[in-house]
Amino acid sequence: MATLVKRDTRRDTNISLDKPIYTISVASEILETHPRTLMMYEHLGLVVPKRTSTNRRRFSQRDVMKLQTIQKLTRHHSVNLAGVRYILKLLKLLQEHQLPSPVELRDLDVSQLDV
C-alpha cells in the first residue's frame, strides 16, 4: 500500500528586516525622495546601507523604516538633520528604559530601528 506524503510547497515569505534588498533607486521611489538625498543621509551617517561586491548600495527594510522616521522628523516636525540624530538616540533610550516619549513624538516608533 502506497503512503501519501503531504509536502509543504509554501515558501517562507518572511524577509529579514536586515536583508539588503532595495537598490537606491527603489528605496528613493518608496520614500518619494531623490537618490541624492539618501546619499546625503549616508554621508552624514544617519543610515548605512550594505554594499554588494560591486560596491552598489542595498537598503534593508530596517533602513527604509529608519529613513521614513527621518522624513517624519524633518517634514512633519521641522527638525534639522543634526536634531534628527539626537532625537532618534533619545527616543531609543526612553524606549529601552520603558519611559514614555514626549506627546509630540508619539507618532514615531523607534523600537525596530538601529540608532
| CATH of 24-105 given 3.40.190.100, 1.10.1660.10, 3.20.20.70, 3.40.50.10790 | 1.10.1660.10
pTM comes to 0.84
pLDDT at position 92, please? 96
Q: Taking all residues of the chain, what is their mean pLDDT, rounded to a whole number?
A: 91
Contacts 24+ apart (CB under 8 A), 42-47: 44/81, 44/85, 45/85, 46/70, 46/81, 46/84, 46/85
3-state secondary structure of 87: helix
Place of cell 560591486: 54
3-state secondary structure of 65: helix
Q: Compute mean pLDDT per 10 residues along the chain, 115 residues long, and list them.
A: 55 77 98 98 97 97 97 96 96 95 93 91
